[in-house]
């Protein structure tokens, strides 16, 4: 970790935007099947497919969420048709108040959607730093891999969000976790040397 966040000014050398499509493919940022690490981060939500708890989470209605949680906790971990929980939807849409309510109500933090993405992965992928912090402080696992082999740290590095990357590392995210192409550490190194 010292090499990444040491005194040398490596941040100015990182330039993911300057990579060619072929280079991005080789490090797993833009896989051939179109499922990129950074694009398509937001969920497509159809209101008619959601329960009350999912609707409240997706729009960030903390008051409604509190009301739902006060009447019953049995729906806390309910899933929609794509296996998303209210926590997934709150994180993807950047609603830290709702994330706090759900986490403090003891929802399961590491449940996965159809792509094996946890709420933490969605928070990082959507660059929602407050939601990421809340989840990590409440004990979310930063080392779960989605179906593409990416962890939350892969998404932070690919999204060039070094604040979130540093936070993930402080919560013991595995810098050597390998996706189809590289580890986050190798990805950082290759960008620093190319820049």
User: In this model, does residue 119 exceed pLDDT 80?
Assistant: yes
Lowest mean pLDDT among 29-33, 86-90, 93-97, 129-133: 29-33
pLDDT tens readout for residues 138-194? 999 999 999 999 999 999 998 989 999 999 999 999 998 888 776 666 666 665 566
pLDDT value for 163: 96
Residue 130: both structure tokens together: 């407050």
Its pTM stands at 0.75
Residue 153: both structure tokens together: 């740290």
Within 10 A of 43 (CB to CB), how many other CB atoms are there? 18
pLDDT value for 171: 97
pLDDT value for 178: 85
Mean pLDDT along residues 53-61: 95
CB 152 within 8 Å of CB 142 = yes
CATH number given to 11-194: 1.25.40.20
Q: What is the share, in percent, of the chain residues with pLDDT greater than 90?
A: 59
In residues, how long is the chain?
A: 195
Residue 71: both structure tokens together: 């009447």
User: In this model, does residue 16 exceed pLDDT 60?
Assistant: no
How many CA atoms, within 13 angstroms, populate the side-chain half-sphere of residue 137? 11
How far from 177 is each of 62, 127, 138, 192, CA to CA, in Å? Answer: 35, 20, 22, 19
Mean pLDDT along residues 47-76: 90
Mean pLDDT along residues 56-84: 93
Mean pLDDT along residues 79-94: 95
176 SS3 class: coil
User: In this model, does residue 135 exceed pLDDT 80?
Assistant: yes
Q: What is the share, in percent, of the chain residues with pLDDT greater than 70?
A: 67
DSSP state of 181: S
User: In this model, does residue 195 exceed pLDDT 50?
Assistant: yes
What DSSP string describes 35-80?
--SSTT-SPP--GGG--HHHHHHHHT-HHHHHHHHHH-STTTT---
What DSSP string describes 121-132?
HHHHHTT-HHHH
CA distance 120 to 126: 10
Mean pLDDT along residues 40-58: 78
> Mean pLDDT for the chain?
79
Residue 111: both structure tokens together: 């449940």
| Of 173 and 45, more confident | 173
The answer for residues whose C-beta is within 8 angstroms of residue 145's C-beta and 6 or more apart is 116, 151, 177, 179
CA distance 159 to 171: 19
CB 68 within 8 Å of CB 56 = yes
């Amino acid at each position: 970790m010292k090499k990444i966040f040491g005194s040398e000014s490596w941040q100015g050398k990182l330039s993911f935007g300057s990579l060619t499509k072929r280079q991005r493919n080789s490090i797993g940022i833009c896989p051939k099947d179109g499922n990129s690490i950074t694009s398509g981060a937001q969920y497509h939500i159809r209101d008619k497919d959601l329960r009350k708890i999912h609707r409240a989470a997706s729009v960030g209605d903390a008051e409604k969420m509190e009301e739902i949680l006060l009447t019953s906790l049995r729906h806390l971990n309910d899933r929609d048709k794509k296996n998303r929980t209210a926590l997934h939807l709150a994180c993807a849409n950047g609603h830290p108040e709702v994330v706090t309510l759900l986490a403090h109500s003891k929802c399961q933090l590491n449940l996965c959607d159809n792509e094996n993405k946890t709420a933490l992965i969605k928070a990082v992928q959507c660059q929602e730093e407050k939601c990421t912090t809340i989840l990590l402080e409440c004990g979310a696992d930063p080392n779960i891999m989605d179906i593409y082999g990416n962890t939350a740290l892969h998404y932070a590095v690919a999204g060039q969000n070094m604040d979130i990357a540093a936070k993930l590392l402080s919560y013991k995210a595995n810098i050597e976790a390998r996706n189809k192409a590289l580890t986050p550490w190798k990805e950082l190194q290759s960008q620093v040397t190319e820049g």
